Amino acid sequence: MDFELKTLSPSLAAGLVVDALLVLVPDTVATAKADPLNELVASAIRLGDLESSVGKTLVCYQAAGFKATRVVLVRAGSGGAANVRKAVAAGVAQLKLPNVKKLGLLLSLLPDDGHAVRAAMQACADATYMYTTTKPSAKARALQRVTVGVGKAAAVQDEFNIGKAQIVGVEFAKEWANRPANHATPSMLAEAARKLGRKPNIRTEVLGPKQVEALAMGAFLAVAKGSVEPLRFIVMHYAGGEKGVAPVVLVGKGITFDTGGISIKPAAEMDEMKFDMGGAASVLGTFAALAELQPAVNVVGVIPACENMPDGQAVKPGDVVTSMSGQTIEILNTDAEGRLILCDALTYAARLKPHSVVDIATLTGACVIALGGVRSGLFSGRDDLADALFKAGETALDPCWRMPLDDEYGEGLKSNFADMGNVAGRAGGAITAAKFLQKFATDLPWAHLDIAGTAWKSGAAKGSTGRPVPLLLQYVLDVAAAPPRAGANAPKPVRRKR
């Protein structure tokens, strides 16, 4: 789907030749001007046909004075980004027709169309997205072109460019997370990364089992032992910034299918464990967006990818493994495997002398209980990094919420037979998982995003959300806007007082 940005006043909108014109109408709108659109809006409001609640729509066919076949008026409340997203989703839902191929999306009635552009574009893309890779009977998205009309195109060009790149990234992440596990093996994930490596300023390395063994990644190797699919350790470099400037490192959990291993999961809904590589998909999606946008920043993506399977070679509860850091781990539950592959990836990330390290993982059901599907869980011992990620999420409408990391939560990880266990009981499970990861990031400017509740939806709407690509992209762009000195790492940690 192609987007174009156009300066389009309400008086000119009637002349737009499209299959449908979607007009966002705020609570307060000036309709004094005598043109077809203002007259239509004024009449709809006066007659009570366009209700005032956000998302309420009125569909008009062959309206007088319009070249568009259909005109859809949709209420957008105050015109804020969240209201715009809801309004566009409601409006596009009225237009899911095979003959609607060209859409006009008019934002110029809004009090601040600049803040609405990205939200409107993403909502339009989300509402029309269709997965087709392994479903030939599915009808691909009919909508081919969207003209975004604003008061002054030049003033919102940057937001438009970010919106286009974000959609590319989100849909790349959705594609790979939605694929069944036999169509998204670690090797296939690595091949997707290699193809991204052909884009400008991106370089991809893929390590296999022997190279990972040479790095002494004992925790990662332990998880992969039970599968016939060979592991892959994927490292992607985006070099958009000056040479020597410390990179942002994004570490994505890449469990391409999770049975739970010997601690096997219940059969019900186990199919959804193909989404357990949502963190990896979000890193790939972020790099796809960077390839489009080409910001002046350095970013490294690290993806440990493998399956968690229960065959005769699989790691067993009670086994002790040695991580790349040299710390030993008693594996009390093989279904707590994500933290095992991530801990070695975090140790590897330290070699990169990073500006910051953010790991992204569908890590715990406990985070779903705590935050549901609205906000991702955010954990960090650094106030500056946590604040930056929180702000990025709010800006991108991809919100997170900071959770505690008090030292007392780590007490349950103590083991009689190793430096630590990999689980600490049910209570505070999302926090104790983060405390485990923190043991491998003590000297890093590190944050952890638990996306178990936000990476995909279940039920009738089952499928990947593409989150948190918008958050990650915004965070990277914020770093690009205030880069550190060449050759310098991030400043000394600013830690929350206890």
Computed on alpha carbons and rounded to an integer, the radius of gyration of the chain in Å comes to 24
Q: Give the C-alpha separation, 113 to 324, whole Å.
A: 50
439 counts as catalytic: no
Residue in the structure block whose two tokens are 């072109």: 145
Amino acid at 359: D
Per annotation, catalytic residue among 141, 199, 265, 391? 265
Amino acid at 108: S
265 counts as catalytic: yes
Is residue 492 classed exposed, middle or buried when 0-12, 13-18 and 19+ CB atoms within 10 A define those classes?
exposed
Q: Give the C-alpha separation, 124 to 95, whole Å.
A: 11
Residue ranges of the alpha helices (H) in 61-185? 81-93, 117-128, 157-178
What are the backbone dihedrals phi and psi of residue 16, each rounded to the nearest 5 degrees, phi first? -75, 125
Q: Which residue from 468, 482, 442, 492 is spatially nearest to 250, judged by alpha carbons?
A: 468
Q: Which residue from 201, 441, 181, 182 is spatially nearest to 301, judged by alpha carbons?
A: 201
User: DSSP 3-state assignment of 460?
Assistant: helix
Distance of CA 262 to the CA centre of its chain: 30
User: DSSP 3-state assignment of 147?
Assistant: strand
Per annotation, catalytic residue among 85, 274, 339, 435? 339
What are the backbone dihedrals phi and psi of residue 238, each rounded to the nearest 5 degrees, phi first? -105, 115
Token readout for 123 is 């909502």
What are the residue numbers of the active site?
A: 265, 339
